[in-house]
Amino acid sequence: MQMVTRTHPGLIRVRNEDWIGCDAKKQFAVLADGMGGLFAGDVASRTAGETVAAALDEATTITPELLLAACEHAHQTVIDTARELEMGKQMGTTLVVWAATPSGWAAAHVGDSRLYRWHNGILDQLTEDHTLAQRMRHEGSAPAGIDIDKEYGHILTQAVGLLSGIEPGICSGVLPAGRFLLCSDGLSEAVGNVTITDLIAQPDLSVAASQLMQAAIDEGGRDNISLVLIDT
């Protein structure tokens, strides 16, 4: 199994509030995107990412249930850290984690950082954004004549560290399963699915990662950009 990571602050943001980590030997990857509108997004993403990575590193067997438990632990750890730092101020982060399991692979996510799979030339988005736009679609409550992705796609309904709580999304499958992409919205909002499909198909994983990053920068780099590519 091969894993490649890339992260970049983008061309506008002062600091990079994304956090990424992976372990090709233990076969897991974690990506977190700190919420810049709240206090210490970089601290939130690092705290959540390191908490999940530590739980997976210590585990003898990784299961979907373990991923969910690790997300919940990260959530509480971010809340506790925020309380220690700023008298109750909230800080938050998205989170997406992928891992090999005894029966194949599993992933969990909170927020709008995404997991894609590219297999046999087809790109599938495996996670569903926890955003107000997506909730409106489910409820059929989108206002007529409004581009809800543009107006409400950036408003998260779930994030690690927010006091409202989390219900992580979960998905799983068998291996081998092609190539996986974990990314922050700095990539997914800047680069469309057609371009992602073209670039992720590069035979060399490192080349594919670099070209995906460059594509997001070429589109303006308006946000922090982070990604993990995994060949199974």
CA angle 127, 223, 212 (to 5 degrees): 65
CATH number of the domain within which 206 lies:
3.60.40.10
Q: Tens digits of per-residue pLDDT, 125-146?
A: 999 999 887 788 877 776 777 7
| Lowest-confidence segment of 25-29, 161-165, 187-191 by average pLDDT | 161-165
Instruction: Kindly list the distances between the CA atom of residue 172 and the CA atoms of 43, 60, 92, 200, 229, in Å, as whole numbers in the listed order.
Output: 29, 19, 25, 21, 17
- Residues 6 or more apart from 126 whose CB is under 8 A from it? 107, 114, 115, 116, 117, 171
140: containing domain? 2-231
The tally of domains found in the chain comes to 1
pLDDT attached to residue 36:
81
Q: Which residue has the tokens 């809340």?
A: 79
> Is the omega angle on the peptide bond into residue 176 within 30 degrees of 0, that is, cis?
yes
**Three-class SS state of 99:** strand
| Cα separation of the two ends of the chain | 5
Q: Tens digits of per-residue pLDDT, 169-215?
A: 999 999 999 999 999 999 999 999 999 999 999 999 999 999 999 99
Residue pair 186/225 in contact (Cβ under 8 Å)? The answer is: yes
The residues that bridge with 104 in the sheet, in sequence order, are 101
**Three-class SS state of 15:** coil
* Residue 151 pLDDT level (bands cut at 50, 70, 90): low
pTM for the full model?
0.94
pLDDT attached to residue 145:
72
**What percent of the chain is predicted at pLDDT more than 70?**
97
Q: Tens digits of per-residue pLDDT, 55-95?
A: 999 999 999 999 999 999 999 999 999 999 876 678 999 99
Instruction: Kindly list the distances between the CA atom of residue 187 and the CA atoms of 19, 58, 180, 190, 205, in Å, as whole numbers in the listed order.
Output: 14, 30, 14, 5, 17
